[in-house]
Structure 1
Amino acid sequence: MEDILTHNPPPPPQPLCGWEIVVNEVNFVRKCIGAGGSQDDLWGKLVCTNFKVSFVTHDSLPQQCAHRLLGEYDVPLACVDQVITVNDAKGKRKILGSNKKLKFNPTELILYCKDFRIIRFRFDEAGPESAKKVCLAIGHYSHPADTQLLFGFEYVGTRFYSSSDTRAVNGIDPGGRLQTPLFDCSSDWDREIKRTGASEWRVCSINKDYLVSPSLPEFFVVPSSLADQDLKQYACYFSAQRVPLWCWNHPSGSALVRMSSITEPLQQRKLDQRICNAVMKSHPLRSDVHKVELENGLLPTIHDIQAALVKLRQFCVIEPFEESEDKWLSSVESSRWMEYVRVFLKQAVEVVYVLEWKQASVILQEEEDRDLSCVVASLVQVMCDPHCRSLVGFQGLVQKEWVMAGHRFLDRCNHLKRNDKEESPLFLLFLNCVWQLLEQHPTAFEFTEVYLSVLSDSMWLPVFSTFLFNCPQQRAEHSRDFALTKRISLGQEQALRFPPVWDWSQQFSLKDQALFNNPLYVGKSAPCVHNGTVRTYSHRRSKVRSALTVLMKH
C-alpha cells in the first residue's frame, strides 16, 4: 500500500470539451474490477465534471475504439441511473440525487448505469471528506433540475453548430457522397417523395412556426387531395393536434401513414372517412385502406416495456452466470423483453403483408402517435425498403420517424430524472428488433451491430440534439432561451443548432467509423455468390411470407 500512496499523481483525464468543468475530485480511489477479489482492481483519481464521471489511472490500456468525448473509464452523467453510497462500518446505504445530503462518510460508491454497467469505487485510502464531496457532486450533477442544465447546452454554446454545419450532414459533402437528411426543411421531404415515387402526396407547411401542433415538425407530407384549410380545420379534433402523417410509399403505390386518435366522438366517423378517402385517392389502384389500432392490447404498453427492461437489467448485471445457463435463460425469458421484440416484429410483418400482398395502404393509429407507431413504422420500412438498410438511409429513417415525428426522447430516456413513470426504452427495443433482422439477413444491412451499439450508447451523450428533446419545437425554444440567457449572438440563426448524432466525427475518427460498415453487405442489387451461383440480393415476397410464418409459429 505504501508503494501505491507514494506514486506520482495520475495523468490528467480526457481533455475537457467545450464548457466542461471539473466540479470535484478525490485521489487514491480503488476501482473494483470483478467480484473475485482486489488483485485486479485499479488505483487512480475519481473526477466529477458537469458532463461525466472520470476515473484516471496509470494502468489504463489503449482503447480499441478511441472515443473523442469519453475516456476508457468515463461515464456520462446522463447514463447514470442511480448513485448509491455505502458505509461498511455503519452498515448504511443511501441513494443520492439532486441537493440530497449525506450524513456519513462513504467507504464505497456504486453507480448503476443505464447501459447495464455497475461501476464500484472504494475509498479505503482516500480522504473521507473528499470522498463525501465527490459523491455528493456526482449525485447532484447526474440529476439536472432543468433542461438547460444538461451539458449539451454548454457544449453547443461554445462550438456554435451553425446551419452550414448542419447542411454538411444533411446535403452533399465535398466528396459527392449523400449525407443524412434531417427532414427539417421541405426539400428533404420533396426528395423522399421522389425517391419512393409517392406522386399523389405533397409537402405541407401549415405547421410553420408550430402554429397548428407543438409536437409535429414544421414540414410533413399529406395526401394531395387534402387542402391546407381542411387540415387546419381538422387539427383540433386530433389528439395533440397531430393530423395524419405520411411515412413511406411501397413501389406498388400503397402508402404507410401515421395518425393520432380522434378526440371528438361526434366527428370521429366523419373524419375517419375523410382521411381514408384521401389516402385511397393517393393510391394508383384506389385500393382499400386498412387501419391498424396499435393500442388494441396486442402490443405492450410503454409501462410494460419499461418493466421488462428493469427485469432484464437485473438478470444481466447482477452476477448472471452464478446460476445455470438454463435457469438464467428462463429468467431472461420471464422478463418478457424478447417476447415484446417478437410481438413488434410480428406486427410489422403483418403490416408489410397488407402493403405488399394486398397492395393496400395502411394507417397506424395511436393515441398521440409518438411511441408504438415509431417502432412499427420504422420496422416496416427496414423490412421493405433496401435504402433504409443502408447506413445513410437508416439514419434518415430514425431522423424522420423518431426525431422529427416527436418521439419524447427527453421523457422516455428520463434525462432529467424527474418522472420514472414516463421512462420507457422504446428506441432500444427498436434497435434490438433491427439487430434480430440483421442476424437473420447479414448481407442485407450496410451497418454492423457495432454501429447499433454505438447508436444506443449515444442516447446517453447529452451533446447531440437527436436524443435530447421531445420534439423539434422544444429544441428550438430551449436553444433560443439558452442563447438569450448566455447572451450568445445568433446572427441570422433563430436558435442554437445542436450537432446531430449523425456527425460521427464528433465521437470517432474515420478509422473507428470503419467498424460501422458491414463487409458482408451486398447492397440493393449487388451480385453475390451462393452455392456457386451468382445471385442478386433483393427483397422478395417469399421472404416476407416466410418471416410471417416463423413469427406466427413462435
Structure 2
Amino acid sequence: MELSELIEVTRVRDAFMRKGPRPAQVGDICIFGHHLIFAPTTVGKEVPDNAEEFWLLHKAVDRVLYGFLHDYAFFYNSPFTILDDGWSAFDLEQEFARLMLSTDAFRISSVNENFAICPTYPEKLIVPKGIGDDYLKISATFREGGRFPVLSYFHKETKSPLVRCSQPLIGPTNRRCREDETILNSMITVNRGYIIDTRSKSSATAAKAKGGGAEPQGNYRQWRYIQCPIPRQREIHDALTRMVDVCSERKVTSDRWVSRVGQAGWLSSVAASLEAAANVAQCIYNERLEEVPVVIHGGDGLDSTLIASSLAQILLDADARTIRGFESVIEREWICGGHPFSLRNNHCAYAEGTVTGPFESPVFLVFLDAVHQMIAQYPMSFEFDENFLIFLFEHAYASEFGSFLGNCEKEKKDNGIRKKTVSLWSHVHHPENMKQFVNVCYDPTPGVIWPSIAPQCIKIWDRLFFRWQRPDNSWSTPETETIQSLADHWKLREKELIAKASSLRRSVVELSRELRVLSPM
C-alpha cells in the first residue's frame, strides 16, 4: 500500500498563506505521499512568473498528528538495487570477533533479551568477561533508566576500554551498589581508571537531590572523577535558535554581529563537546601507552554521553574517520545506543516556540558540527567530506529510510522497522551514491588527531547556517574547482596504475606456472 492511498482529500482550494518564506498569498494545498505542496493562485489574473510552488515535507509540517507507521519510510520503494544491506552491515557478533583479536577480557551478554532490563539498550551487549548477568541486573537498578556499564570502544594500542552508562542513583541517602562497584573495578588492572561526567558540578549536585548523582570517591577508590561539562539538551536547543536568528541577519562588517554569534552559545556548545572528547582521548592515549579504563556518563546517558564517546573514538581511531567506520560509530553509539531520534528530531531543527516539545533538541547536530570542525582542521584525514555530514543531518530529521526512525532498538523491533524499511546505509553504500561523499584529497592519518578548541579555530559551518542565503554553486571557487579537477585526475591515474600493477602480477603468476611445466623434473 502507498501512503497516498490513505489520503482522503488530496486538494484544498483557496488556502491563505499568511506568514512564511514569501509574501502572503492565496493558493491551493495539494497533499501527496511525502510532500505538501502550496500552489499560489490569483483571482481573475494570471499566475505571476515568480509564483513558484512551495514544496514541504510532511515531517517539516508543525502541529500534525499521525501514526508512527504512516511515516514515509514505510511506503518508500527503493529505486536502486540494494547491493549491500545496511541493516546487516554493522553486526555485534562481527564486532566482537574483531575485538577478540586484541583482548579476551569481554563477552557478549543477552541479559537484556526482549529488552527486559533496559528498554533503551539493544538485546545483546558487550560487557566485562568476569561479570555475571546477575550483577548486571542489579547494576541496572542502580543506574538511571537501567543503563548499566557496557563497552563502547576498545583502544588496541593501549588496551584501554571506553565504557558508557548513565548516572548512579545514589540520591540524598547515598545509596550504594556493591555489584556496580565490582563491575567497574573488574576493568582495573594496574592503573586507576577515570570516570568522566559530562555534567557541570551544579547539575550533578542538583541531580543528587532528585535521586541521581555521581559515584562517591569513597566507594570507587580506584577511579578518578573528572567533570567535562557539555550543555544540556535545552541549552543546545536554545543556542541553535539564537544562532539561526543571528545568521539570518548576517552583516560581515558588523562587530555587533560577531558578538551576537558568540552570545548565541552554539559554537561554545560545539567547543565544549570537542573538549570533553579530547579529555577522554587523553586519558586513553596516555604518554606511557598504559592501560587506563575510562567510563563516561552524564544524566540518562542518551545525549551528552554519546557525544563524548563517539567524538573520542573519531579522535583516537583512524578507522572511525572512514565512511564505513564513521557509519559504524553512528550505528553503535547513537542508533543502537538509544539516542531518542524521534523525540529529539520531532520537528525541523530550526523550529522554536510552543511548536516544539520539551524533549526536542539538535543534539545529533552538535556531534556533526564537531566532526565538521575536525574536517576543517584535518581536511585530508577523513575519507568523507562535509557533504556527507549535511546528508546525515537532513536524513536525521526527514528521510525515506528507516535508520533514524524510533527512539531505540526496542521501538525498531516493535514496529518492524528493520524489516519494513530500507536502511540509509544501503543507499550510501551503493557505488553511484558513495562517490558523492568521498573526499578526493583523503590521505589517512594514522593514530590520534588533536583538533584545536581555541575560539579562533571553531568556525561557523557556512554550508549549514547560510544554506538558504547562497545558491549551492556559489560555494565553489575557481581555486577549489582547480584543486578538485587535479585531485580527480590523480585519483583516476592512481586507479589506472593499480589496475596495471594487478595485470602485471597476474602475468608473472602465469609465466611462473608455464616455467614449472616446461622445466625438467
Displacement after TM superposition at 1:165 (Å): 6.7
Which of 447, 451, 455 matches 2:388?
Answer: 451
Question: Which residue of structure 2 lines up, in the alignment, with residue 4 of structure 1?
Answer: none
**Structure 2 residue 366 is matched with structure 1 residue 429:** yes
Structure 1 residue identity aligned to 2:123? E
Question: Which residue of structure 2 lines up, in the alignment, with residue 169 of structure 1?
Answer: 86
Instruction: Give the superposed CA RMSD.
Output: 3.9
**Structure 2 residue 425 is matched with structure 1 residue 502:** yes
**Structure 2 residue 126 is matched with structure 1 residue 221:** yes
Question: Which residue of structure 2 lines up, in the alignment, with residue 474 of structure 1?
Answer: 411
**Structure 2 residue 171 is matched with structure 1 residue 257:** no
Structure 2 unmatched runs, 5+: 41-46, 202-228, 349-353, 459-521
Question: Which residue of structure 1 lines up, in the alignment, with residue 293 of structure 2?
Answer: 361
Structure 2 residue identity aligned to 1:205? S
- 1:161-203 Cα distance to aligned partner (Å, 9 max, x none): 9xx97972255xxxxxxxx41x4xx4243245247x2431111
**Structure 2 residue 4 is matched with structure 1 residue 23:** no
Identity %: 22
**Structure 2 residue 354 is matched with structure 1 residue 414:** no
1:152/1:464 contact within 8 Å kept: yes
Structure 2 residue identity aligned to 1:287? N
> How has the CA–CA distance of structure 1 residues 210 and 30 changed in structure 2, closer, same or farther, with 3 Å as cutoff?
closer
- How is 1:25-424 mapped onto 2 (pairs within 5 angstroms)? 47-54=30-37, 74-80=55-61, 82=62, 97=63, 143-153=64-74, 155=75, 168-170=85-87, 180-181=89-90, 183=91, 186-194=92-100, 197-250=102-155, 251-264=157-170, 267-268=175-176, 270-281=178-189, 286-297=190-201, 298-317=229-248, 319-321=249-251, 324-357=253-286, 359=290, 360-415=292-347, 420-424=357-361
In 2: Cα distance, 1:517 partner to 1:381 partner? 20
Displacement after TM superposition at 1:503 (Å): 2.0
> How has the CA–CA distance of structure 1 residues 370 and 33 changed in structure 2, closer, same or farther, with 3 Å as cutoff?
closer
Report the secondary structure of 1:470's partner residue. coil
- 1:371-417 Cα distance to aligned partner (Å, 9 max, x none): 10111101000111111100011011100000001001111112599
In 2: Cα distance, 1:34 partner to 1:208 partner? 49
Structure 1 unmatched runs, 5+: 1-15, 61-70, 83-96, 98-142, 172-179, 481-494, 524-536
Displacement after TM superposition at 1:324 (Å): 4.2
Q: Number of aligned pairs?
A: 410
In 2: Cα distance, 1:188 partner to 1:320 partner? 49
- 1:317-361 Cα distance to aligned partner (Å, 9 max, x none): 3x434x844332322221110011111101111111110016411
TM-score of the two chains, using structure 2 as the length reference: 0.69
- 1:263-283 Cα distance to aligned partner (Å, 9 max, x none): 2555536345312212224xx
In 2: Cα distance, 1:381 partner to 1:215 partner? 21
Displacement after TM superposition at 1:479 (Å): 3.5
Report the secondary structure of 1:222's partner residue. strand
Displacement after TM superposition at 1:237 (Å): 1.9
Displacement after TM superposition at 1:205 (Å): 1.2
TM-score of the two chains, using structure 1 as the length reference: 0.65
> How has the CA–CA distance of structure 1 residues 473 and 17 changed in structure 2, closer, same or farther, with 3 Å as cutoff?
same
In 1: Cα distance, 2:392 partner to 2:133 partner? 37
Report the secondary structure of 2:187's partner residue. helix
1:244/1:259 contact within 8 Å kept: yes
Report the secondary structure of 1:473's partner residue. helix
Structure 2 residue identity aligned to 1:435? H
